[in-house]
Structure 1
């Protein structure tokens, strides 16, 4: 289990390096192959170290457990809730009634990511979905009136956003991350037969 977590950390570091222009796609593909084929932890640690940029000086970092303020949380008093989903050679799917945490991180290699938020409960007025995918599409479905801010870096793929006008007080969804060799699509659809839990924020 721990070794798989090390592989996921290495793949995430490589994905970020590609998105930031510090690694080209050919090198990325080769190194990802090494990450998922090697049984040598030293090799994984070396790849993570080389792909991770130098940390900023301590003065520029936030204190542990104190997230940066947002317009919706000007006086944060607790750390943000976060969850992580990952898949290799498979899809990541969430639909129906489920809890969307304040921050959700998804890593998918050779698989698609599908998140249907129409019946979901938002844990915060602002939720951030950080999506890192390789050779897979990202599809997000939201109910009408939900604001979606797409900041995903798409490499060798298309990005299509089709959302309705945001309603005052509606949850805000922020999409970040990197999509390599896949498309990003955001669509708006009505809830079929009962009100969406998103509207408890109105």
Structure 2
């Protein structure tokens, strides 16, 4: 928060910052799903800066990460495109590729939202999704021509940490979900 005394009333902006910190900590695996939900509820109902500070005090870095781009645009012909390591997952990915292998690795990604939409127009390529725990992939929005899907995490009855919705057109392409290597 700021250098204000802890008994100062919290603003909507103060609560939003605390919620961002908590979501990032949850995405990093620092908080269980249950603990994250409990702390988010407390943050949204907090009256003072002290109450908000107590919710993030045990987290190593209580500053929120920079804002994720609303849309990540991937346009490429040939070659490889890899998004891995610690990256901020946007709300949407616009994927336009031809003769290209794209890898999206979510194992160390900072997930700040519960949903990601990938709008794909792929020809003669491959999309490899390295999934993280609590992630499900919905391929129902894909139109496929001579294309294959190898997706394992499709249990929509559970409450996933991240729902990935794939939509668009695949021509002679593959979508493969891979589990992280240990």
TM-score (norm 2): 0.55
Gaps of 5+ in 2: 1-68
Q: What residue number does 1:158 align with?
A: 148
Q: What residue number does 2:177 align with?
A: 186
TM-score (norm 1): 0.50
RMSD of the alignment, in Å? 2.2
Q: Which has the higher strand share?
A: 2
Q: What residue number does 1:9 align with?
A: none
Task: Answer with 1 or 2: which has the greater Rg.
Answer: 2
The one of 150, 168, 176 aligned to 1:177: 168
Partners of 1:111 and 1:103 lie apart in 2 by 20
Distance 1:169 1:157, change over 3 A: closer
Q: Which has the higher helix share?
A: 1
Gaps of 5+ in 1: 1-79, 193-202
Q: What residue number does 1:10 align with?
A: none
1:142-161, Cα deviation, whole Å (9 max, x unpaired): 11221221132221121111
8 A contact 2:87–2:109 mirrored in 1: yes
Partners of 2:98 and 2:160 lie apart in 1 by 35
Stretches of 4+ moved more than 4 A in 1? 164-167
